[in-house]
Structure 1
Amino acid sequence: ESDIALLDLVTSASIACGAHAGSDEVMRNTARAAADRGVVIGAHPGYRDRAGFGRREMAMPAASLAAEIVAQVMALAKCCDAVGVKLRYVKPHGALYTTAARDQGVALTIAAAMRDIDRDLIVLTLPRCALAVEARTAGLTVAREAFIDRNYEDDGSLVPRGNERATIRDSAVAADRALAMVRDGVVTSISGAVVSIDPDSLCVHSDSVNALAIVSATRSRLERAGFPCAPFAR
Structure 2
Amino acid sequence: MMVSLNSDMGEAFGIHSFGNDDALVALIDTANVACGFHAGDPTGIRETVEKALAGGVTVGAHPGLPDLVGFGRREMKLFPDEAADIVRYQVGALVGFLKAQGAQLDHIKPHGSLYGMAARDAELAEAITAVAGDYGVPVFGIPNSEHEKAANKLGVPFVAEFYVDLKYTADGGLIVARRPHATPVDEAIERARRALTDGIATAVTGEEFPIRVDSICVHSDTPNAVEIATAVRAVLSSVGAAA
TM superposition score normalised by structure 1: 0.90
**What are the equivalent positions in structure 2 for 1:1-234 lying under 5 Å apart?**
2-116=20-134, 118=135, 120-161=136-177, 169-223=183-237, 225-230=238-243
The answer to whether the Cα contact below 8 Å between 2:61 and 2:91 also exists between their aligned partners in 1 is yes
SS across alignment from 1:90 = coil
Distance 2:61 2:176 in 1: 23
Amino acid paired to 1:61: F
- Residue identity matched to 1:136: N
Q: Distance in 1 between matches of 2:241 and 2:126?
A: 34
Going from structure 1 to structure 2, the CA distance change for 1:111 and 1:222 (only over 3 Å counts) comes to closer
Unpaired segments ≥5 residues, structure 1: none
In structure 2, give the amino acid aligned to 1:153. T
Contact kept, 8 Å, 1:176 with 1:221, in 2: the verdict is no
Q: 1:64 and 1:40 mapped to 2: Cα distance?
A: 28
Residue 222 of structure 1 and its aligned partner are, at CA, apart by 2.9
Counterpart amino acid of 2:206? G
Q: Which amino acid aligns with 1:187?
A: A
Identical counterparts, % of pairs:
37
SS of 1:106's partner is: helix
TM-score (norm 2): 0.87
3-state DSSP class of the match of 1:101? helix
CA distance in 1, matches of 2:202, 2:82: 38
Shift of 1:198: 1.6
What's the CA shift for 1:201? 0.3
- Offset at residue 182 of structure 1 (A): 1.4
Deviations 1:177-226 (A, max 9, x none): 11211122211221222211121000111111311111112212332x24
Matched position secondary structure for 1:20: coil
Matching residue's letter, 1:194: E
RCO higher in 1 or 2 (8 Å CA, sep ≥ 6)?
2
Q: Measure the CA separation in 1 of the matches of 2:129 and 2:235.
A: 35
Structure 1 stretches of at least 4 aligned residues deviating more than 4 Å after TM superposition = none
* Preserved CA contact (<8 Å) 1:6 1:212: yes
C-alpha distance in 1 between matches for 2:26 and 2:186: 20
The Cα of 1:65 is off from its aligned counterpart by: 2.2
Equivalent position SS for 1:124: strand
Question: In structure 2, the residue corresponding to 1:202 is in which secondary structure?
Answer: strand
Per-residue CA deviations over 1:5-48 (Å, capped at 9, x if unaligned) read: 11111111111001100011111111111111111111000001
Equivalent residue letter for 2:229 = V
Using the alignment, how far apart are the partners of 2:191 and 2:87 within structure 1? 32
